[in-house]
């Protein structure tokens, strides 16, 4: 039996999962009916991992237990702290993906699941590898990583297979920016060029607002609220709200009775900020995105007049100034009929459909590009001196993949018997400023004291981002190869195994904690209705499921504000609810609905009194 293949947008701010259904990409909602979820993770007081809205709502109250925007640290060796424990960015991303996998398992049942996961076009090999590992830690099979602008173009182009045009995809999300130019030719989508910035997005706009608010607060009260972790989280929450509100309103009001304490008294902030003031703050960053647009056009050999459509992707494109800049450059209104927050996930589902064969008869063909130049370290003349560490490009950036390129080199010294091949990715002329991907040694070169031996180096780069490098001595045909992705994964296999064990133990501890706290008798039906005849048989199973998922969300939020005893009852209710949903038993679902309704009513009465 073939496995299900889904597409995932693992975003800085929000994440989503989708699949192909009846020839159309469809998002898989959460049990609460959410099409996208916040990419926020929390480790609560009980050691339980929470992902999504509940985690985000706890950011201000418990900032030391919540992690957000971890995508910006993917591929780095940094760790992040959550609830007194240290995690790698890959591990935190795996927690988000594991939450999404739960939705997939609920939709399709048991069995192996494969995921096509999107990344910014300007993600390095190391960042792509970290994303792939996060998917594997979450329990997915991950054989394909796809660029986010390419995915968005797929979502846009699926219903336009007969059209011929150049589309510019402007993707400004929560943490990254990409621009890609895609040529659509009767069902063929060919990426012509990409440019971007992995450290530019809505998060940066938020922090500029935080600094602005902090400056206003400091003038009023003489202290910097950013030194207080909770005050800083509160200002960040306000900044996100202001940014969204100013996308449709000319002004936004800030009224915070308590930001922090001064001399044991509450110090607050009350003011208005205009859209114009916000635009002044972020305009230098937005103007830098237009520099990337111009570079992509130049790399593609096109002008603004060659672009027929501009496609907006990412929540930050709702900022009016973004549309204003693009209209000013291209003289046409951008497209936004594909939801900016959902386009990447929907396009990932299209790529998943191509990979699984579901869209085999569609005629859709996609080609992508190498986002960075690939090459090796060589010695040569620079500025009149013989230098080592020069970056020689073999596959230039924006080369359509798959691609194979061979360049000829020469041994550096007379009598040289071996040559080290160092593999790099980047755009700088010196390898020390680029990303090192690996190295290997070609041995068995014939001794030549009178001249230099010829060495052919071949780069093969495929659609999955796997680079195979071969060095061959021309004279005796001796060769050595290295598959970069395999080599890098062998190096990180031990670390990946440690992460897998760490996450497994964390989830097991959370489950054990619940079982220790809540007395449980498998034979006791603690939710048996007192009068089964009162169950409303007219409610359809679909309606029951919908109501139970809504109630599950309410219980989840209520647990954060409850004492230990009440959390025990909530835990019982949620587990029974899950069992009933998984079983699909209408009677059990109806019983759960009745008991949860009674519990929530009683909880509200206690709060009111």
Backbone angles phi, psi at 41, to 5 degrees: -125, 140
Q: What is the DSSP letter of 2?
A: P
Res 260 pLDDT > 50: yes
- Of 171, 178, 204, 341, the active-site residue reads 171
Q: 71 catalytic, yes or no?
A: yes
* pLDDT mean over 167-196: 92
Residue 466 tokens read as: 């796997």
Res 381 pLDDT > 60: yes
pLDDT at 396: 93
- What are the residues facing 378 on neighbouring strands? 390
Res 135 pLDDT > 90: yes
Res 272 pLDDT > 90: yes
Res 565 pLDDT > 70: yes
- Of 114, 136, 148, 183, the active-site residue reads 148
Q: 427 catalytic, yes or no?
A: no
pTM (2 d.p.): 0.76
Q: 579 catalytic, yes or no?
A: no
What does R_g of the chain's alpha carbons equal in angstroms? 27
Q: Sorting pLDDT into bands at 50, 70 and 90, what band is 530?
A: very low
Query: 583: Cβ–Cβ under 8 A, 6 or more apart, which residues?
Result: none
* pLDDT mean over 568-578: 78
Q: What is the DSSP letter of 334?
A: P
Whole-number mean pLDDT of the chain? 85
Res 543 pLDDT > 90: no
In our burial notation (b when 16+ CB lie closer than 10 A, e otherwise), range 287-324 reads: eebbebbeebbebbebeeeebebbbbbbbbbbbebbbe
pLDDT at 512: 58
pLDDT at 263: 87
* pLDDT mean over 552-577: 73
- Terminal Cα-to-Cα distance of the chain (whole angstroms): 57
Q: Is the bond leading into 344 cis (omega within 30 degrees of zero)?
A: no
Instruction: Check: CB of residue 440 under 8 Å from CB of residue 421.
Output: yes
Torsion of CA 154, 158, 164, 165, to 10 degrees: -40
Q: 361 catalytic, yes or no?
A: no
Q: Sorting pLDDT into bands at 50, 70 and 90, what band is 598?
A: low
- Strand 374-382 relative to strand 403-410: parallel, antiparallel, unpaired? unpaired
* pLDDT mean over 285-309: 95
Q: Give the separation between CA 395 and CA 402, rounded to whole angstroms.
A: 11
DSSP-derived secondary structure for 470-497 = EEEETTT--EEEEEHHHHHHHHHHHHHH
Q: Sorting pLDDT into bands at 50, 70 and 90, what band is 391?
A: very high
- Of 44, 71, 204, 240, the active-site residue reads 71
Better-predicted residue by pLDDT, 228 or 505: 228
Better-predicted residue by pLDDT, 331 or 198: 331
pLDDT at 298: 95
457: buried, middle or exposed (CB in 10 Å: 19+, 13-18, 0-12)? buried
């Amino acid at each position: 039996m073939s496995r299900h293949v889904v597409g995932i947008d693992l975003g800085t701010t929000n994440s989503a999962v989708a699949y192909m259904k009846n020839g159309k990409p469809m998002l898989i909602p959460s049990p609460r009916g959410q099409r996208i979820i916040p990419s926020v993770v929390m480790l609560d007081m009980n050691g339980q991992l929470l992902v999504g809205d509940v985690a985000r709502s706890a950011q201000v109250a418990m900032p030391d237990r919540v992690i957000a925007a971890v995508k910006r640290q993917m591929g780095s060796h940094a760790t992040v702290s959550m609830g007194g424990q240290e995690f790698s960015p890959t591990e935190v991303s795996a927690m988000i993906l594991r939450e999404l996998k739960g939705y997939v398992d609920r939709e399709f049942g048991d069995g192996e699941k494969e995921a096509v996961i999107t990344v910014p076009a300007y993600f390095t090999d190391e960042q792509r590898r970290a994303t792939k590992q996060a998917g594997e830690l979450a329990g997915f099979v991950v054989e394909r990583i796809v660029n986010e602008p390419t995915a968005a173009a797929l979502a846009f182009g699926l219903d336009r297979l007969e059209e011929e045009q150049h589309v510019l995809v402007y993707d400004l999300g929560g943490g990254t920016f990409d621009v890609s130019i895609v040529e659509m030719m009767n069902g063929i989508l060919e990426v012509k060029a990409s440019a971007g910035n992995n450290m530019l997005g809505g998060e940066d706009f938020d922090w500029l607002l935080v600094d602005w608010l902090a400056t206003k607060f400091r003038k009023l009260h003489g202290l910097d609220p950013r030194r207080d972790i909770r005050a800083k989280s509160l200002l960040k929450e306000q900044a996100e709200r202001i940014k969204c509100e100013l996308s449709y309103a000319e002004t936004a009001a800030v009224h915070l009775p308590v930001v922090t304490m001064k001399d044991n008294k509450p110090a607050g902030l009350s003011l208005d900020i205009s859209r114009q003031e916000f635009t002044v703050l972020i305009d230098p960053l937005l103007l830098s995105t237009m520099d990337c647009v111009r570079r992509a056009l130049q790399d593609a050999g096109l002008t603004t007049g060659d672009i027929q459509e501009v496609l907006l992707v990412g929540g930050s494109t709702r900022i009016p100034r973004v549309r204003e800049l693009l209209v000013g450059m291209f003289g046409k209104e951008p497209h936004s009929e594909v939801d900016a927050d959902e386009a990447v996930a929907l396009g990932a589902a299209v790529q998943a459909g191509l990979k699984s064969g579901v869209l085999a008869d569609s005629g859709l063909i996609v080609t992508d590009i190498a986002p960075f130049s690939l090459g090796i370290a060589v010695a040569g003349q620079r500025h009149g001196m013989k230098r080592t560490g020069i970056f020689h490009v073999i596959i230039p950036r924006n080369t359509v993949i798959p691609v194979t390129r061979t360049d000829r080199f020469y041994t550096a010294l007379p009598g040289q018997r071996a040559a080290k091949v160092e593999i790099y990715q980047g755009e700088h002329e010196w390898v020390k400023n680029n990303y090192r991907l690996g190295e290997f040694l070609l041995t068995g070169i014939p001794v030549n004291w009178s001249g230099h031996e010829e060495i052919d180096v071949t780069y093969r780069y495929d659609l999955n981002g796997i680079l195979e490098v071969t060095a061959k001595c021309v004279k005796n045909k001796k060769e050595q190869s290295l598959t970069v992705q395999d080599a890098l994964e062998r190096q990180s296999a031990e670390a990946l195994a440690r992460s897998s064990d760490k996450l497994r133990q964390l989830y097991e501890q959370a489950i054990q904690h619940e079982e220790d706290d809540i007395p449980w008798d498998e034979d006791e039906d603690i939710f048996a209705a007192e009068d089964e005849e009162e169950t409303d048989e007219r409610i359809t199973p679909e309606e029951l499921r919908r109501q139970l998922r809504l109630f599950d969300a309410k219980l989840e939020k209520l647990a954060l504000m409850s004492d230990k005893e009440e959390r025990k009852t909530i835990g019982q209710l949620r587990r029974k609810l899950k069992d009933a949903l998984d079983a699909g038993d209408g009677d059990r679902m109806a019983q759960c609905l009745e008991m949860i309704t009674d519990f929530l009513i009683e909880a509200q009465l206690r709060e009111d009194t």
